[in-house]
Amino acid sequence: GENVEQHPSTLSVQEGDSAVIKCTYSDSASNYFPWYKQELGKRPQLIIDIRSNVGEKKDQRIAVTLNKTAKHFSLHITETQPEDSAVYFCAASTGQAGTALIFGKGTTLSVSS
């Protein structure tokens, strides 16, 4: 089955710096790659997603890139702010009905001012 590896497990940056979180997946049939942000004690919140027919997607300060050949995708946050501090999860799915999102183990991002 699918396996998703996520790195780094923790990331500390200064406010205004960029942050990059990387994930690799094993199942070449996976075609949907969402990113979730989870603040302490709260629900995972979908922040951006990308499908395998697209190489890059941007939404304001957040971007995701996908390299299907290498089976990896990355989250880029620019101009980080203290409110970006949270746990970020990547996930992968084949998109078929009844299939799961397979999550990475998460990255704890700390943005200090």
Q: Which residues bind another protein (CB under 8 A)?
A: 4, 6, 32, 34, 36, 42-46, 49, 89, 91, 93, 95, 97-106
Least distance from another protein to the Cβ atom of residue 16, Å: 28
Residue 42 vs 58, nearer CB to another protein: 42
Least distance from another protein to the Cβ atom of residue 4, Å: 8
Antiparallel, parallel or unpaired: β 72-77 and 62-67: antiparallel
Residue 44 vs 86, nearer CB to another protein: 44
What span, in angstroms and rounded, lies between the C-alpha atoms of 11 and 87? 10
Nearest to 40 by CA among 90, 106, 113: 106
Residue 10 vs 112, nearer CB to another protein: 10
